[in-house]
């Protein structure tokens, strides 16, 4: 089986879908690789390193799609609105496409792949199960985002994170609040703690208290937490507006005490909930920083502007986009390992096998046989069309 990968065409995307260290010899995996020249360059992986692993290098993406039985991407059609559709005419009937494709919000793009006869897998839909952990691209990339969010905050904050005792006196440590204790939030806690900050964290799911405290942070209790706040996949559930109103009221006093707030709350396929209001930010001390990791989904703060840093009162609200692409070497390495493990599940004896009895295959398969086959994606696409 031939697996191909190309340069990413989404603006500012520097990651690559496969790295040399994740490539297993053909004799063991049954997979041969073909790549577009320069595909790994932006992430720090020159062509020569791929050649050493036996990868065939071709001049352009049309040749990759023409030769490959499966094409792996960081951003496939749907997650690459401006340029992704250019690949549609290259997709062959029966060709496997694997990558991020925003299936719950870009159903029309997924449908277009189906109409071309492509077999589309959305890596965002990897189930949150123990068996699937090694394929969980959302977790691997959220780790990078949580780490980088703290560095952005530290750079923007006009004070240092750790306590220092010097001849000039003692400097108090910065106070950092992490809202949302998923993978990104937990990594942000760990990074802020390593930098010496006093860290507290909040999550609507009381069950994560132990994880927060194990990293040395204080778990904030607002008194509005709900026992049924987590879905079967381990994600926070969308709550009603009355819940979020009560949550914001209780959160206001906590936010006011912070030097840095990092928000990470996201609901798959839906607009991010607003947890921090403009008035809360105005109440923060001058020079304070809020980093909103949900900016791409509308933001957890109603003052967030996606892709921009804005002044709100005396504080800075940052709305960074695609943070994993700012650390492309390791973000690509983690993503490629996820993909390589997923391919191992799909490829047996050098051929593609579609086992619909496998829960991982079933949950990630979006399009097959000329139509959308994933129940949630079909439902979302129908709602969008209506």
Is the CB of residue 217 less than 8 Å from the CB of residue 175? no
With cut-offs at 50, 70 and 90, classify the pLDDT of residue 235: low
Look up 95 and say whether it is catalytic.
Answer: no
| Claim to verify: residue 178 and residue 313 sit in the same structural domain | yes
- 52 or 229, greater pLDDT: 52
DSSP 313: T
| Claim to verify: residue 344 and residue 310 sit in the same structural domain | no
Q: Which of 29, 49, 133, 134 is catalytic?
A: 133
Q: Which of 56, 193, 235, 358 is catalytic?
A: 235
Is the CB of residue 142 less than 8 Å from the CB of residue 148? no
pLDDT at 305 over 90: yes
Domain boundary among 280, 297, 321: 321
Q: Which of 128, 256, 278, 376 is catalytic?
A: 128
pLDDT at 228 over 50: no
Contacts of 159 (CB under 8 A, 6+ apart): 171, 174, 259, 287
Buried b (16+ CB within 10 A) or exposed e, 149-160: bbbbbbebbeee
pLDDT at 92 over 50: yes
| Claim to verify: residue 177 and residue 118 sit in the same structural domain | no
Look up 308 and say whether it is catalytic.
Answer: no
Number of structural domains in the chain: 2
| Claim to verify: residue 172 and residue 300 sit in the same structural domain | yes
Is the CB of residue 9 less than 8 Å from the CB of residue 70? no
Range of the domain at 361: 2-135+328-385
Q: Residues of the chain with pLDDT > 90: what percent?
A: 84
Look up 136 and say whether it is catalytic.
Answer: yes
Q: Which of 73, 111, 139, 141 is catalytic?
A: 139
Look up 73 and say whether it is catalytic.
Answer: no
The tens digit of pLDDT for each residue in 6-60 reads: 999 999 999 999 999 999 988 888 999 999 999 999 999 999 999 999 999 999 9
Domain boundary among 288, 305, 321: 321
Q: Which of 87, 102, 136, 292 is catalytic?
A: 136
| Claim to verify: residue 27 and residue 115 sit in the same structural domain | yes
Domain boundary among 302, 321, 340: 321
The tens digit of pLDDT for each residue in 244-274 reads: 777 778 889 899 999 999 999 988 888 999 9
Look up 248 and say whether it is catalytic.
Answer: no
pLDDT mean over 204-211: 90
pLDDT given at position 166:
84
CATH assignment at residue 276 = 3.40.50.720
Mean pLDDT of the chain: 93
Q: Which range in 63-67, 228-232, 243-247, 251-255 is most confidently predicted, on average pLDDT?
A: 63-67
The tens digit of pLDDT for each residue in 94-123 reads: 999 999 999 999 999 999 999 999 999 999
């Amino acid at each position: 089986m031939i697996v191909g990968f190309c340069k990413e065409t989404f603006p500012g995307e520097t990651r690559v879908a496969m790295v040399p260290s994740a490539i297993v010899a053909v004799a063991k995996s049954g997979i041969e690789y073909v790549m577009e020249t320069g595909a790994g360059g932006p992430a720090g992986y020159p062509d020569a390193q791929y050649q050493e692993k036996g990868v065939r290098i071709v001049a352009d993406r049309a040749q990759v799609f023409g030769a490959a039985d499966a094409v792996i991407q960081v951003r496939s059609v749907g997650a690459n609105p401006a340029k992704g559709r250019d690949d549609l005419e290259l997709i062959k009937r029966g060709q496997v496409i694997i990558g991020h494709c925003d299936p719950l919000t870009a159903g029309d793009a997924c449908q277009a792949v189906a109409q071309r006869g492509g077999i589309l897998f959305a890596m965002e839909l990897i189930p949150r199960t123990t068996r699937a952990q090694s394929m969980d691209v959302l977790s691997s990339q959220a780790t990078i985002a949580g780490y980088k969010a703290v560095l952005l905050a530290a750079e923007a904050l006009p004070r240092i994170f750790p306590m220092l005792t010097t001849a000039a006196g003692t400097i108090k440590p910065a106070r950092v609040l992490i809202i949302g204790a998923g993978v990104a939030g937990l990594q942000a806690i760990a990074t802020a703690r390593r930098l010496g900050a006093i860290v507290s964290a909040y999550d609507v799911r009381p069950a994560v208290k132990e994880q927060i405290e194990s990293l040395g942070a204080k778990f904030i209790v607002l008194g509005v937490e709900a026992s049924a706040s987590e879905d079967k996949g381990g994600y926070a559930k969308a709550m009603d507006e009355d819940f979020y109103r009560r949550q914001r009221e209780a959160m206001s006093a906590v936010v006011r005490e912070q030097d840095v707030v990092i928000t990470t709350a996201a609901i798959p396929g839906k607009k991010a909930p607003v947890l921090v209001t403009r008035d809360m930010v105005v109440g923060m001390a001058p020079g304070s920083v809020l980093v909103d990791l949900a900016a791409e989904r509308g933001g957890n703060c109603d003052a967030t502007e996606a892709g921009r840093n804005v002044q709100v009162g005396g504080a800075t609200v940052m709305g960074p986009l695609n943070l994993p692409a700012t650390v492309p070497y390791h973000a690509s390495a983690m993503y490629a390992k996820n993909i390589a493990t997923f391919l191992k599940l799909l490829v047996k004896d050098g051929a593609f096998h579609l086992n619909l009895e496998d829960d991982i295959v079933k949950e990630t398969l979006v399009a097959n046989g000329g139509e959308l086959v994933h129940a949630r994606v079909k439902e979302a696409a129908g709602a969008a069309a209506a």
